[in-house]
């Protein structure tokens, strides 16, 4: 992570700003406001920009933080430092409760749901008696350390910006970790992430809580900065404004939140103080101009201002090479490494009236390459989904080493040592090849989100990345290791998926059309790799349409047609099987 | 519970619900076609209502001038896009609807306003003005970023909402206005008295829904809009101009918004910022309908109207809390019912 030096410089600059002689106090107030907004927006960067969960309700979490400390310091005389953890806990608990309901909402229901409770909470703040209804709570004590009372904007400035810097550091650490990769994979759908052991609802809830706690922190600071709270700053409009900030700055970039806060807060201030002078103070002119400027800014830089600025930088941050000497402990291999590894017994999947997989039975032995072939729509990918727990079987049994797994979720199945690739590549295109592959090792890591934030995960993280780098080298993509996965050709992306699957250290590898889109030489290399893996003790089950590839590679072939198994045997036997020939070429061929 | 009160509340709820239904339909339409969550829908409501009220009281509405200004801006955008391939015919094709048309409307408004036009003329003028604003709004604010994510479009929608709301204050002032009733007749059924106005709300809602249904079911443009809603790229490949679909969607939405405003302004006093909350309620109905289903949206709107009316009677302090939290269980149910499809977003 090459961000340490710029961050230190930034901290240094921010620390000296209030010390500049003749600095107008008003600018300091502006900077305070920017810091407060940046904290909330930072949470949104993680939640919306990275995790893809749009929330309009962040202002309500500020409200939880602010009202908690306001109530406890005024009515019960608690010290503000004592209420800090309480404010954060209240926001966090509110996030857990709202999050448990909200993060399960799919697609567009989620942002709409957040509008709903955001507004609901706002009206609640303004109606509840002990929170002072619309008047709110005033005479909140200032923060104080010993005899230093942080009353003037120049002193609380340090509290606010220390909070911003710490939050930025924690958030960036989180993103640059095992948990961070899981969060970054959320936006691309959950199937791939879950296939490698990520608990997507848990990851979503985590970012939700993270964002809420940051908002709560901002609310706590706000309450002691303004020293009065009322419902207005916690309603729908501020909630939307925080989202502006994140989007304008560049949703997805931690520093975009700070930059966006700077742009929006300064813009609003300039408009509010200068426009009325210009046009004799008529009406809400600043709102009009602000709205128009916002739309114009989005038209100029739809991805946000921060990435636009970064693209102008002459130097690119260097990436650190993973230390390849580190290794993860290999999987405990049971004694049953001979005999049946995977048993599929009368597996059946029915979608309404369509029987996609009709009582299919076959097995995969240890150290064996089995190919599953059949014309389009034969039920091959559905069979894969039944084995890996993506779809529940309607009836039948799937067992690994004799242990039934047909009720298990994907996260448990991958833990047993079964990993897979997808027919339609499911990588995160804006993450590097290394990071994508490291998701495969997710369930072999131990570090928690909290440890990652505090940088206590480095040893664990280095081992995960080393494993990922080793698998990338093994599949022959070492030169592409730092490129964004989306920039690779489709064939290479399939190979990246194989490397990701290998990171699981699997007993059984399920490959869905691995050779599609590969050139001749690449196919040969792939076949060599798969044979090597088999000789090393791994079993492979693959779906493939390239008959030359399959017949040369597979030890055994299972043929499906319209969901029914029509043949099984060695490649030689399958080539001459009349039922197979009929399925592929039609009767009489 | 008193039956009369209940019936009265029901009636009130249905009247409001009918309006929410109209707005909900417009939101569904715009979202399906353009992926824009139309936050400024509320401004169309206030613009329609207050333009109508201004015309009725003999004041020149500022919206007519705004329509011309936005039309000129839209023409400017067209000009900029075509700057390398300027062609007289295409210039004229952009100039006439974007500049000439709003200029005519402005002139007509100026001519008629001091002569106390009949109510129907005022209504038609208001509808025309707001519909043009909606059309140009799409051209200026959304067409250039039509390809970006839903989030960016949403933020742009919020930006336009702010700008339009500020302009509303500029045009109509901070005081609320009421417009003249469309019909004075009243109908008494047992303990219930239906005013001509609430009857016209029902009639207009039903008529508009039927018209929309016919438009989408029978006309080529309606089908083109539906095709765009299902698959933008596919629609383009078969020759549907998706920008045209977007413009039609916005035109319809602003028309519906203005009509809703005109229908309620004789019943309730409207302020420049009332529209936002009304729009939000329509929004809730649209969400309950899943942002896709028109009939479900209409039913949900009636439900929202009823809940609002009953909660304003029993717990008026918590009216908004109740209406908005109503949404959460519904959303949850919808999410659970929806099949777990893999989302492939941009």
In sequence order, which residues have a C-beta less than 8 Å from that of residue B180 and are 6 or more positions away?
B56, B119, B266
Q: Among B28, B328, B334, B346, pick the best mutation site for testing chain A contact (most A Cβ within 10 A).
A: B328
Instruction: Give the closest-approach CA distance of B58 to chain A in angstroms.
Output: 22
- What is the mean pLDDT of the segment spanning B136-150? 90
Matching residue, tokens 């060599």: A528
Phi/psi for A173 (5° steps) reads: -60, -45
CA–CA distance, B289 with B299 (Å, rounded to integer): 8
CA–CA distance, A324 with A307 (Å, rounded to integer): 31
CA–CA distance, B225 with A289 (Å, rounded to integer): 32
Chain A CA closest to residue B288: A109
Chain A CA closest to residue B290: A109
Cβ contact B332–A104 (<8 Å): yes
Cβ contact A298–B145 (<8 Å): yes
Selection from A349, A373, A400 nearest residue A507 by Cα: A400
The pLDDT value recorded for residue A279 is 63
A-chain residues near B311 (CB < 8 A) = none
The pLDDT value recorded for residue A337 is 58
Put simply, the chain A residues between 285 and 304 with a CB less than 8 A from any chain B CB are 285-295, 298-299, 302
Cβ contact A284–B170 (<8 Å): yes
Put simply, the chain B residues between 123 and 142 with a CB less than 8 A from any chain A CB are 140-141
Cβ contact B152–A298 (<8 Å): yes
The pLDDT value recorded for residue B344 is 38
Tell how far CA B305 is from the center of its chain.
17
Least-confidence region, from A108-112, A334-338, B16-20, B54-58: A334-338
Write out the DSSP string of A303-334: T-HHHHHHTT-SS-PPPPPP-TT--PPPP---
Selecting from A127, A243, A286 the residue whose C-beta is nearest the C-beta of B317 gives: A127
> What does the pLDDT look like over B157-208, one tens digit per residue?
989 998 999 899 888 888 888 888 777 777 777 767 777 788 888 888 888 8
- What is the mean pLDDT of the segment spanning B325-346? 60
Burial class (CB in 10 A: 0-12, 13-18, 19+), B273: middle
The first and second tokens of residue B209, run together, are 């829904």
A15 in reach of chain B (CB within 8 A): no
The pLDDT value recorded for residue A29 is 92
A-chain residues near B35 (CB < 8 A) = none
Selecting from B37, B165, B332 the residue whose C-beta is nearest the C-beta of A105 gives: B332
The pLDDT value recorded for residue B290 is 67
Instruction: Give the closest-approach CA distance of B295 to chain A in angstroms.
Output: 19
The pLDDT value recorded for residue B47 is 95
C-alpha to C-alpha distances, B43 to A538, B248, B324, B342, nearest whole angstrom: 64, 18, 20, 36
Domain-by-domain residue ranges, chain B?
3-335
Q: Is the pLDDT of residue B130 over 90?
A: yes
Chain B CA closest to residue A102: B332
**Beta-carbon pairs below 8 A across chains A and B:** 138
Cβ contact B159–A292 (<8 Å): yes
The first and second tokens of residue A529, run together, are 């790799």
Put simply, the chain B residues between 260 and 289 with a CB less than 8 A from any chain A CB are 280, 283-284, 287
Helix (H, G, I), strand (E, B) or coil at B346: coil
Instruction: Give the closest-approach CA distance of A536 to chain B in angstroms.
Output: 35
Selecting from B141, B327, B335 the residue whose C-beta is nearest the C-beta of A106 gives: B335
Least-confidence region, from A76-85, A280-289, B12-21, B209-218: A280-289
CA–CA distance, B245 with B235 (Å, rounded to integer): 10
Cβ contact B145–A247 (<8 Å): no
- What is the mean pLDDT of the segment spanning B70-80? 93
**Could you tell me where the DSSP H helices lie in A316-422?**
380-387, 410-415
Phi/psi for B116 (5° steps) reads: 50, 75
Cβ contact B331–A189 (<8 Å): no
Q: pLDDT confidence of B338, banded at 50, 70, 90?
A: low
CA–CA distance, A145 with A156 (Å, rounded to integer): 11
Chain B CA closest to residue A249: B152
Most confident region among A146-155, B63-72, B308-317 by mean pLDDT: B63-72
The pLDDT value recorded for residue A107 is 65
DSSP letter at A558? Answer: E
B-chain residues near A115 (CB < 8 A) = 280, 324
Selecting from A123, A244, A295 the residue whose C-beta is nearest the C-beta of B321 gives: A123
Cβ contact A113–B318 (<8 Å): no
CA–CA distance, A387 with A383 (Å, rounded to integer): 6
Name beta bridge partners: A369.
A540
**Could you tell me where the DSSP H helices lie in A503-570?**
520-535, 547-553
The first and second tokens of residue A545, run together, are 């349409």
CA–CA distance, B167 with A292 (Å, rounded to integer): 11
The first and second tokens of residue A196, run together, are 């490698």
Selecting from A101, A288, A299 the residue whose C-beta is nearest the C-beta of B332 gives: A101
Give A383 or B216, the one with higher predicted confidence: A383
Put simply, the chain B residues between 152 and 181 with a CB less than 8 A from any chain A CB are 152, 154-156, 158-167, 169-170
Chain A CA closest to residue B141: A295
Instruction: Give the closest-approach CA distance of A107 to chain B in angstroms.
Output: 8
The pLDDT value recorded for residue A22 is 84
Instruction: Give the closest-approach CA distance of B185 to chain A in angstroms.
Output: 38
C-alpha to C-alpha distances, A317 to A3, A311, A452, A511, B134, nearest whole angstrom: 8, 12, 21, 35, 46
Put simply, the chain B residues between 185 and 214 with a CB less than 8 A from any chain A CB are none
CA–CA distance, B209 with B296 (Å, rounded to integer): 13
Instruction: Walk across the sheet containing A340-351 and list its strands.
Output: A354-365, A340-351, A395-400, A403-404
The pLDDT value recorded for residue A1 is 44
Cβ contact B328–A112 (<8 Å): no
> What does the pLDDT look like over A484-532, one tens digit per residue?
999 999 889 999 999 999 999 999 999 999 988 888 988 999 999 999 9
The pLDDT value recorded for residue A37 is 96
The pLDDT value recorded for residue A465 is 93
Radius of gyration of chain B (CA): 20
Chain B CA closest to residue A250: B152
Instruction: Give the closest-approach CA distance of A280 to chain B in angstroms.
Output: 13
Burial class (CB in 10 A: 0-12, 13-18, 19+), A130: exposed
Set out the domains of chain A in order of their start, with CATH numbers.
Answer: 28-239 (no CATH), 337-417+506-589 (3.40.50.300), 428-504 (no CATH)
The pLDDT value recorded for residue A334 is 57
Helix (H, G, I), strand (E, B) or coil at A145: strand
The pLDDT value recorded for residue A89 is 96
Q: Among A106, A409, A424, pick the best mutation site for testing chain B contact (most B Cβ within 10 A).
A: A106
Maximum Cα–Cα distance across chain B: 71
Chain B CA closest to residue A425: B344
CA–CA distance, B289 with B304 (Å, rounded to integer): 12
Low-confidence ranges of chain A (pLDDT < 70): 1-3, 106-108, 278-283, 315-320, 332-338, 587-589
Put simply, the chain A residues between 47 and 86 with a CB less than 8 A from any chain B CB are 48, 52, 54
In sequence order, which residues have a C-beta less than 8 Å from that of residue A467 and are 6 or more positions away?
A327, A328, A438, A441, A444, A503
């Amino acid at each position: 992570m090459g961000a340490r030096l710029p961050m230190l410089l930034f901290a240094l600059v921010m620390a000296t700003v209030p010390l500049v002689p003749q600095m107008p106090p008003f600018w300091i107030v502006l900077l305070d406001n920017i810091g407060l907004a940046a904290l909330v927006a930072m949470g949104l960067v993680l939640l919306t920009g990275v995790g893809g969960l749009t929330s309009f309700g962040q202002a309500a979490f500020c409200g939880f933080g602010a009202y908690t400390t306001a109530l406890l310091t005024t009515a019960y005389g608690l010290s503000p430092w004592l209420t800090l953890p309480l404010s954060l806990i209240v926001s966090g608990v509110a996030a857990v409760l709202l999050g448990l309901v909200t993060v399960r909402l799919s697609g567009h229901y989620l942002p709409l749901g957040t509008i709903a409770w955001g507004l609901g909470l706002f009206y609640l703040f303004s109606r509840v008696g002990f929170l002072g209804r619309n008047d709110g709570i005033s005479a909140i004590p200032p923060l104080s350390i010993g005899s230093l009372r942080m009353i003037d904007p120049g002193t609380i400035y340090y509290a606010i910006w220390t909070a911003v810097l710490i939050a930025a550091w924690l958030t960036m650490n989180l993103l640059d970790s095992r948990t961070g990769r899981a969060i970054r994979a959320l936006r691309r759908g959950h199937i791939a992430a879950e296939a490698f052991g990520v608990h997507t609802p848990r990851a979503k809830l985590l970012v939700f809580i993270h964002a809420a706690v940051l908002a709560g922190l901002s609310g706590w600071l706000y309450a002691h900065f303004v020293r009065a709270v009322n419902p207005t700053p916690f309603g729908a409009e501020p909630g939307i404004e925080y989202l502006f900030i994140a989007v304008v700055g560049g949703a997805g970039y931690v520093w975009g939140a700070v930059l966006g806060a700077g742009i929006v807060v300064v813009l609003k201030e300039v408009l509010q103080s200068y426009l009325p002078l210009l046009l004799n103070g008529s009406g809400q002119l600043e709102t009009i101009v602000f709205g128009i400027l916002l739309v114009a800014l989005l038209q100029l830089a739809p991805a946000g201002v921060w990435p636009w600025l970064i693209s102008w930088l002459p130097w690119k941050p260097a990436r650190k090479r993973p230390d390849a000497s580190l290794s993860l402990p290999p999987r405990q291999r049971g004694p049953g490494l001979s005999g049946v590894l995977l048993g599929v017994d009368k597996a059946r999947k029915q979608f309404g009236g369509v029987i996609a997989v009709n009582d299919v039975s076959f097995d995969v032995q240890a150290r064996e390459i089995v190919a599953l072939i059949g014309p389009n729509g034969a039920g091959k990918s559905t069979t894969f989904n039944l084995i890996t727990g993506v779809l529940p079987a309607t009836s039948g049994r799937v067992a690994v080493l004799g242990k039934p797994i047909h009720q298990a979720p994907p996260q448990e199945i991958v833990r047993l040592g079964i990993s897979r690739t997808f027919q339609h590549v499911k990588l995160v295109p804006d993450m590097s090849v290394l990071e994508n592959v490291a998701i495969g090792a997710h369930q072999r890591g131990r570090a928690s989100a909290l440890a990652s934030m505090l940088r206590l995960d480095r040893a664990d993280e280095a081992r995960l990345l080393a494993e990922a780098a080793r698998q990338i080298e093994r599949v022959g993509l070492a030169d592409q290791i730092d490129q964004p996965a989306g920039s690779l050709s489709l064939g290479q992306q399939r190979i990246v998926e194989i490397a990701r699957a290998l990171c699981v250290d699997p007993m059984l590898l399920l490959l869905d059309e691995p050779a599609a889109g590969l050139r001749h030489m690449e196919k040969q290399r792939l076949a060599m790799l798969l044979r090597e893996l088999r000789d090393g003790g791994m079993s492979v089950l693959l779906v493939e349409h390239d008959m030359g590839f399959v017949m040369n590679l597979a030890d055994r072939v299972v043929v499906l047609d319209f969901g029914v198994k029509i043949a099984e045997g060695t490649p030689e036997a399958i080539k001459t099987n009349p039922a197979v020939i009929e399925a592929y070429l039609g009767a009489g061929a | 519970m008193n039956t009369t009160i209940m019936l009265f509340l029901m009636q009130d709820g249905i009247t409001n619900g009918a309006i929410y239904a109209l707005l909900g339909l417009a939101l569904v339409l715009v979202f399906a076609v353009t992926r824009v969550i139309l936050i400024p829908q509320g401004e169309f409501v206030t613009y329609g209502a207050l333009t109508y009220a201004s015309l009725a009281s003999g004041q020149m509405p500022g919206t007519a001038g705004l329509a011309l200004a936005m039309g000129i801006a839209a023409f400017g955008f067209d000009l900029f896009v075509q700057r390398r391939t300027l062609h007289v015919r295409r210039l004229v094709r952009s100039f006439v609807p974007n500049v000439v048309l709003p200029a005519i409307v402005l002139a007509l408004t100026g001519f008629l306003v001091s002569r106390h036009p009949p109510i129907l003329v005022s209504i038609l003028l208001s509808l025309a003005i707001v519909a043009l604003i909606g059309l140009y709004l799409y051209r200026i604010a959304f067409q250039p970023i039509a390809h970006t994510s839903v989030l960016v479009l949403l933020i742009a929608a919020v930006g336009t909402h702010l700008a339009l709301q500020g302009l509303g204050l500029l045009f109509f002032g901070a005081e609320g206005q009421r417009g003249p009733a469309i019909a004075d007749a009243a109908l008494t059924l047992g303990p219930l008295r239906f005013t001509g106005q609430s009857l016209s709300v029902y009639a207009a809602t039903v008529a508009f829904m039927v018209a929309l249904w016919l438009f989408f079911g029978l006309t080529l443009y309606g089908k083109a809009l539906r095709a765009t809603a299902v698959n933008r790229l596919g629609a383009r490949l078969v020759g549907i101009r998706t920008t045209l679909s977007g413009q039609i969607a916005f035109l319809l939405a602003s028309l519906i918004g203005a009509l809703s405003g005109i229908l309620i302004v004789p019943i309730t006093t409207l302020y420049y910022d009332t529209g936002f909350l009304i729009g939000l309620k329509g929004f809730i109905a649209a969400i309950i309908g899943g942002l896709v289903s028109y009939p479900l949206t209409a039913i949900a709107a009636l439900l929202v109207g009823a809940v609002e009316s009953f909660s304003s009677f029993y717990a008026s302090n918590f009216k908004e809390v109740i209406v908005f939290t109503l949404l959460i269980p519904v959303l949850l149910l919808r999410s659970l019912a929806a099949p777990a499809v893999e989302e492939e977003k941009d």
